[in-house]
Structure 1
Amino acid sequence: MELVLAKKRQPSKKHWKKAALLTVLAFLLAVVIYTFLILKHDPTLVDMAAKMEPMSWEHPLGTDHLGRDVLTRLLLGGQLTVGYSFLALVLAVVIGVPFGVFAGYKGGLIDRTFMRIGDTFLAFPDTIVAIVLSGLLGPGIGNLLLAIVAVKWVGYARLVRSTVINECQKDYITIAKINGLGSGGIMRKHLFPHIIGNVLVLASLDLGKIILLISSLSYIGLGAQPPVPEWGAMLNDARPYFRANPSLLVYPGLAIVMVVFISNIIGDSLRDRFDVKKEIQP
């Protein structure tokens, strides 16, 4: 009886996640259309005569300390923050996955060398390493992306390596080798189907972390530089005006929370989709 009830509860949970995600995406699409097709504000245009204006039809979220439209900058900042985060994520996956496959499949000295490199990167928290690298390379979004990729590729490489080692110990890989299937065929037909699910789940969950990392480093001046409307940089610009207009800090902060929430929902859905050992909880 408990198992039947659990089976009935699962679809409602999935439907709730999909409904919440679709609602948020539809709302964001409507706001984007209204902002860029109807209002058409320049996100970098300084108008001191219109600074710190309250919410209105012309400026739905008001203006900042330089008279720039907050909503326009918020949406354009979302494109930049999420876009930079996705780019860093793709680069980390592109670098980490081949390293993990090669090290796990070859083993021996190659695998041991990779493990020592990975242990070096993992000896310190990601945020600390990214801050140090960004400080050494200098402020700028390009250097920040390099720093994030440098600390994130190791996680994907280790995940893929462990998956490859685990699968290579199974009988079907031995049978494939006996039947004359080459290394490329084994990786393409047998290993990658197991790798892709794990990588997609980790990437979807990691996207929110990278967004937080880019925003936090931009907030302390190591990422995007003014007047680029990146969310972390917007938080830094609005900090001196917190008492006069706290909404300048609240809006980009809420945007970061919302996008991270969406990425976590997607990650949970992918984890349920690719989990090969699904267990029904009573």
Structure 2
Amino acid sequence: MAVLKMKIRKRNWKAGMLVMLLILVGFLAAYTFLFLKHDADMVDLNSRLSPMSLLHPFGTDHLGRDVITRIFLGAQQTVGYAFTALAAAVMIGLPIGLVAGYKGGIIERILMRIADAFLAFPDTIVAIVLSGLMGPGIENLLLAIVFVKWVNYARLTRSTVVNEREKEYIAMAKINGLSDGQIIRKHIFPHIIGNVLVLASLDLGKIILLISSLSYIGLGAQPPAPEWGAMLNDARPYFQSMPSLMIYPGLAIVAVVLISNIAGDYLRDKFDVKKEVQL
């Protein structure tokens, strides 16, 4: 009972921290877009490198553009791109893992050997090489990320399906005349979705870091796009004179990665059926 109470308190703490961070971000976004209403791309050299003020809470950059507006617009790009790449990786990896795990045999061996070939090299190195070969640009970067991330979801799905397909309730479903599609949809997929959600929530932070880091070295989003990694790159020459230009995008990246990790831990506890049964 004491262990169960500690587990519930841990979940409530994570959920409360996640809600507080989201409320803070929502308040800042509302203040920025409803009251300040700056044009993120408007150049004003007379206001370049301005310090914090009521009009510019985070100051302005080297071209006089409002930093807080670009931070929140950058969230649409950095986080939006990350969700896009993550969704594409899941949509590719999940069906492949389902087919490999449920069918087995030669199909499973072929698909898993292909997946093993992708895992032979670190995903970050592969993404950098592919982005360099295809040329700078956010579209090429997203393709490179999907190319290296789908494997994780294929292997996770396959292992879950293999674990479930030999159980008695699957045999009973086959005896009762259910088709393969019905068995997968009604009995196997519910076991997969929890594991995929946990991995996806933890992977989101990694993809955001990957997009930001490759944009920082010029392989991702290109100026004047308000992407956080590109903003860090633009602010490098002014780090000594105005370090806040690099601090704010860096804090935004840390905050989003922290939120995704807290969400991942919360989902992992929520879908951890085995521990709940033991308790």
- TM-score, scaled to structure 2: 0.97
Which amino acid in 2 is paired with 1:151? V
Asked if the contact 2:40/2:66 (under 8 Å) is kept, the reply is yes
2:208 is matched with 211
Report the secondary structure of 1:227's partner residue: coil
Asked if the contact 1:63/1:69 (under 8 Å) is kept, the reply is yes
1:261 Cα offset (Å): 0.5
Q: Which runs of 5+ in 1 are unaligned?
A: none
Cα separation, 2, equivalents of 1:193 and 1:278: 18
1:10 Cα offset (Å): 2.5
Cα separation, 2, equivalents of 1:146 and 1:116: 21
Q: Where do residues 163-174 of structure 1 align in structure 2 (5 Å cutoff)?
A: 163-174=160-171
Which amino acid in 2 is paired with 1:111? E
- TM-score, scaled to structure 1: 0.96
Cα separation, 1, equivalents of 2:209 and 2:277: 33
- Compared with structure 1, are the counterparts of its residues 117 and 279 closer, same or farther at alpha carbon in structure 2 (3 Å cutoff)? same
* Aligned pair partner of 2:22 in 3, 19, 25: 25
Asked if the contact 2:11/2:269 (under 8 Å) is kept, the reply is no
* Aligned pair partner of 1:243 in 240, 243, 255: 240
Asked if the contact 1:7/1:280 (under 8 Å) is kept, the reply is no
Q: Identity over the aligned pairs, expressed in percent?
A: 69
1:179 Cα offset (Å): 2.0
Cα separation, 1, equivalents of 2:15 and 2:119: 35
- Compared with structure 1, are the counterparts of its residues 20 and 160 closer, same or farther at alpha carbon in structure 2 (3 Å cutoff)? same
Q: Which runs of 5+ in 2 are unaligned?
A: none
Asked if the contact 1:93/1:156 (under 8 Å) is kept, the reply is yes
1:91 is matched with 88
Q: Where do residues 228-267 of structure 1 align in structure 2 (5 Å cutoff)?
A: 228-267=225-264
Cα separation, 1, equivalents of 2:40 and 2:56: 12
Q: Where do residues 100-111 of structure 1 align in structure 2 (5 Å cutoff)?
A: 100-111=97-108
1:84 Cα offset (Å): 0.5
Which amino acid in 1 is paired with 2:67? V
Q: Where do residues 96-245 of structure 1 align in structure 2 (5 Å cutoff)?
A: 96-245=93-242
Equivalent residues, number = 279
The 4+ residue runs of structure 1 with deviation greater than 4 A are 279-282
Asked if the contact 2:52/2:59 (under 8 Å) is kept, the reply is yes
1:277 is matched with 274
Between 1:171-180 and 1:161-170, the stretch displaced more is 171-180
2:50 is matched with 53
1:281 Cα offset (Å): 10
> Pairwise CA RMSD of aligned residues?
1.5
